[in-house]
Structure 1
């Protein structure tokens, strides 16, 4: 009999003897399969002599299915370790994966953020996944997607401020980041790969504690994932006005001095507005629209700022 332990593992401890009896194998065979899962990156905990369990909130397919409320995530690919969820999702999208397909890995060996930056993925302490999107958008509307996604992440997490273009931050640093890669063919958007990384459990917490970013409070990774997918599906259907209004509400960028690394060099000014075209900053009495670039805040994040007008 073939043995696949992952679908039967839960947060509750199960003895190796019981699993061996279920599959008609030896306890040694079970132990070897547990080791294989651990080596592949799955958050399986061994508690001798009691048995084996998953870390609380592990987003297995069965656990996620129990919490889903929409179509996003119905097609779900869960891995222990991959090079990059973006790469796996790209292959699936090219093969015809439907809108809302999700690829999640506990560990990425080549996970990356904007402009090729490496994204750290400590085991069991975050959510690192890619959603395949096939939006009915014109090319001119494509720039709204990262704003929609940012609002969806902020509403699902319930804490943090949005830093243009793709980050959710707190006073202690980055909590979540987004990476969008669009496959544009002619005048049509074939698909978009939305990569999301969320630091769910902050460093320095005692074993067994859970938190979200720098805010220590109970949160389940699988419940947060389901909530985020529902929020994302909702916000992708919203109007430009609604998206911009919500982004401004949650923003941690407008009203602050920023430095922007653009292809033409470093630019510093006051972030005064945002629209579908990009971020507007005031520089030497001139308003400039930044359509792409890495933004850093000159002042630290404390209370939320709002631009005037």
Structure 2
């Protein structure tokens, strides 16, 4: 028997080893061995003497997530205990013919990555680390708008914080709750597919000092429910990609960037000024100190001036 057979009979209620042994036609010792191997593989299984075995409450295992889904995103779903990166795992699946909306989620990543080659810290069982396969019909020049929709979905699903251009979700204290990594497979000017990776810190964990976790603002939040909501909002906004003004209006509503003084590290050097607006493509328009304006399509943004006392600058 594969260890995963045990995974799919567990839920959030403790089940004794003897009951599981009967269901799986195994000995209690074999159940114990399978459970410990699953733990070692990264799956959040709790084993308590005298009570039995269960999945950590809120675990986004396939059989617990499926009833919560409201759309097509996530219907094709691979749930991993530990992997190098969900982006890498989904790329392999995409090349093998995975359908649009397919999702790979891992409880832990050993080489999770963020934008511009940064490392994304992925403590086991405490966040949502997943990638979604998309096949957008967009000109390459407008692909950045897809990145904005991911930020909108994050803000709507978590109901916390504001967005730093293009799609970082910042907590009310200015620290980072979530990030998005968009990697496109191109053939000339044609986008074959996009891997949309999201890392969202949900529960308390050992995180970098610049990071925050959602449970500090939403006590009792459950990862499986949150994932289902996030996938539903991603699908909603993905289906409206062509409606540029609708997307931009929603992003502005959740923005913590516009109207603030910013410094942007771009490939051609740093830019500092006031973030005025987002263009239809998703690019950021910045007014420089001399009154001229620059449009930025790529770069790292630092927020230098707060919008209000309730949303202090990142520092």
* TM bucket, shorter chain: over 0.9
Counterpart in the other structure of 1:299: 305
Counterpart in the other structure of 1:245: 249
Q: State the TM-score, normalized to the length of structure 1.
A: 0.92
Counterpart in the other structure of 1:171: 172
Alpha-carbon separation, structure 1, partners of 2:236 and 2:152: 11
| 8 A contact 1:182–1:192 mirrored in 2 | yes
Counterpart in the other structure of 2:113: 112
Counterpart in the other structure of 1:218: 220
Deviations 1:8-30, CA, capped at 9 Å, x for gaps: 11110011111112222221111
| 8 A contact 1:175–1:213 mirrored in 2 | no
1:125, distance to aligned residue in structure 2 (A): 1.4
Counterpart in the other structure of 1:266: 270
Q: 1:289 aligns with which of 274, 290, 295?
A: 295
**For the structure 1 residues 2 and 159, does the alpha-carbon distance in structure 2 shift closer, same or farther, using more than 3 Å as the test?**
closer
Comparing 212-221 with 53-62, greater Cα deviation is found at 212-221
Question: What aligned pairs does 1:194-213 form with structure 2 within 5 A after superposition?
Answer: 194-203=196-205, 212=214
1:84, distance to aligned residue in structure 2 (A): 0.4
Alpha-carbon separation, structure 1, partners of 2:184 and 2:304: 30
Could you list the structure 1 runs, at least 4 aligned residues long, displaced by more than 4 angstroms after superposition: none
Counterpart in the other structure of 2:56: 55
Alpha-carbon separation, structure 2, partners of 1:181 and 1:2: 33
**For the structure 1 residues 222 and 293, does the alpha-carbon distance in structure 2 shift closer, same or farther, using more than 3 Å as the test?**
same
Q: State the TM-score, normalized to the length of structure 2.
A: 0.91
3-state DSSP class of the match of 2:43? coil
Gaps of 5+ in 2: 207-212
Comparing 66-75 with 278-287, greater Cα deviation is found at 278-287
Calculate the aligned-residue CA RMSD, in Å. Answer: 1.8
- Alignment size in residue pairs: 299
| 8 A contact 2:14–2:53 mirrored in 1 | yes
Alpha-carbon separation, structure 2, partners of 1:2 and 1:151: 39
3-state DSSP class of the match of 1:151? helix
| 8 A contact 1:171–1:300 mirrored in 2 | no
| 8 A contact 1:161–1:251 mirrored in 2 | yes
| 8 A contact 2:215–2:221 mirrored in 1 | no
1:150, distance to aligned residue in structure 2 (A): 0.9
Deviations 1:195-228, CA, capped at 9 Å, x for gaps: 0011112359xxxxxx725403222111111111
1:164, distance to aligned residue in structure 2 (A): 0.4
Deviations 1:102-128, CA, capped at 9 Å, x for gaps: 000000000000011111112221100
3-state DSSP class of the match of 2:46? strand
Counterpart in the other structure of 2:186: 184
| 8 A contact 1:258–1:298 mirrored in 2 | yes
Gaps of 5+ in 1: 205-210
**For the structure 1 residues 266 and 214, does the alpha-carbon distance in structure 2 shift closer, same or farther, using more than 3 Å as the test?**
farther
Alpha-carbon separation, structure 2, partners of 1:265 and 1:213: 37
